[in-house]
Amino acid sequence: MSCPVTGNPYKHFLLHSQRIGSDKWPNTSMEFYHVAISMSFLTPAIEREGKGAQVLIEKFLATICAMKRTINRDRNLLHGLYDEGMFVAPTAWPKGVGEAFGLQEPPTPYEVACAVLVAPTNFFWAFRRKGHHIDPCDYSVFMWWLMGFPVGRMTTHLGRSEGVLWCQLARTVEAMMKRRRFAVWACGIDVRPYCTDRIAMEVARRFYMGEAIPSDTIAQMRRYQNRGEKLFAHPFIESQLKSGVRHGQCIRPLYRPEIVWLTKEEKLRWESREGRSQDAIRKIRKEIARENRLSVTKAHAL
């Protein structure tokens, strides 16, 4: 099957399925929230931010309904989405992936998940902006791996070996590290000592708070953009990135803490609670268990 043309990382992965056609999706964007909420998994961040209420928005609901309607056509995907490790951050980087950061102390998968699964603001990272190449398929695999989609289901879904997946993850990390803002975040560098004026200090503050730069006018936006580029290109920052060794304390904010669960135990505690979401999950898990029993029975009969 040819690679889907969409650059949206969430939709790209799903459209690799031979059972799900692109014509079955509404012409709307897809975000992390669509994937999690459509499967009834309300992570702590989703509950805290009240994102579940977005189902009241017509376009959001259209994508949610499309997810539910089409995922059932691919049982491998469905089983993967309801795996106990789904929406739980991986505990460690696969061999060769952590090294791709080129850092003495790279961020953990959980830290990266909290930073990129839902960007702090639009265009905060700009991984796919003009002039910066990041392969859409590699990026899609990376995002779904961060969400905890089981590797065995992923290899079946994509028709690729585990080693190929690790290469895709490593290439994505290398491409992301070419974005100076992300590299500074990943290294945990404190840029404030290199701020020499008010605008630079404001750029640094907004960077660590996950806020967009002022954009009341085009001139103002460009002024802050240019000052930010100059700040992040400071020779002392450049030397830390090249060596991979940070000077001083680590400042690596979790822009959206608990966007996924940190451990399976935390997720299981949430699932054990009473609620409509938990009831929906338990119902689908029963269906999956019944399918598995039937598969075993048929296998024994052959």
pLDDT for the residue numbered 17: 87
140 against 301, higher pLDDT: 140
3 lies in a domain?
no
Whether the CB-CB separation of 84 and 264 falls below 8 Å is answered with yes
pLDDT for the residue numbered 41: 96
Does residue 292 carry a pLDDT above 90?
no
Whether the CB-CB separation of 101 and 177 falls below 8 Å is answered with yes
Residues 26 and 63 in one domain: yes
Q: Report the C-alpha gap between 34 and 32 in whole angstroms.
A: 5
Does residue 22 carry a pLDDT above 80?
no
Residues 58 and 150 in one domain: yes
Does residue 98 carry a pLDDT above 90?
yes
HSE-CB of 70 using CA atoms within 13 angstroms = 21
Q: Report the C-alpha gap between 196 and 187 in whole angstroms.
A: 22
Q: Which domain holds residue 79?
A: 9-181+256-301
pLDDT for the residue numbered 83: 95
Does residue 137 carry a pLDDT above 80?
yes
Query: In Å, how far are 49, 114, 129, 188 from 256, measured between CA atoms?
Result: 10, 5, 22, 16
Of 193, 213, 243, the position where a domain reaches its end is 243
Number of domains in the chain: 2
pLDDT for the residue numbered 284: 92
Does residue 130 carry a pLDDT above 80?
no
pLDDT for the residue numbered 53: 82
Instruction: State residue 88 phi and psi, 5-degree precision.
Output: -120, 125
Contacts of residue 237, Cβ cutoff 8 Å, sequence gap at least 6: 184, 189, 191, 194, 231
Q: Which amino acid is at 58?
A: E
Residues 223 and 87 in one domain: no
- E-assigned strands of the chain? none
Does residue 129 carry a pLDDT above 80?
no
Instruction: State residue 143 phi and psi, 5-degree precision.
Output: -65, -40
Quote the percentage of the chain above a pLDDT of 90: 70
3-state DSSP assignment of residue 88:
strand
Does residue 78 carry a pLDDT above 70?
yes
What is the tens place of the pLDDT at every residue in 201-254? 999 999 999 999 888 889 998 999 999 999 999 999 999 999 999 998 999 999
Whether the CB-CB separation of 89 and 260 falls below 8 Å is answered with yes
Residues 207 and 177 in one domain: no
Does residue 56 carry a pLDDT above 80?
no
CB atoms within 10 A of CB 172: 25
Residues 44 and 101 in one domain: yes
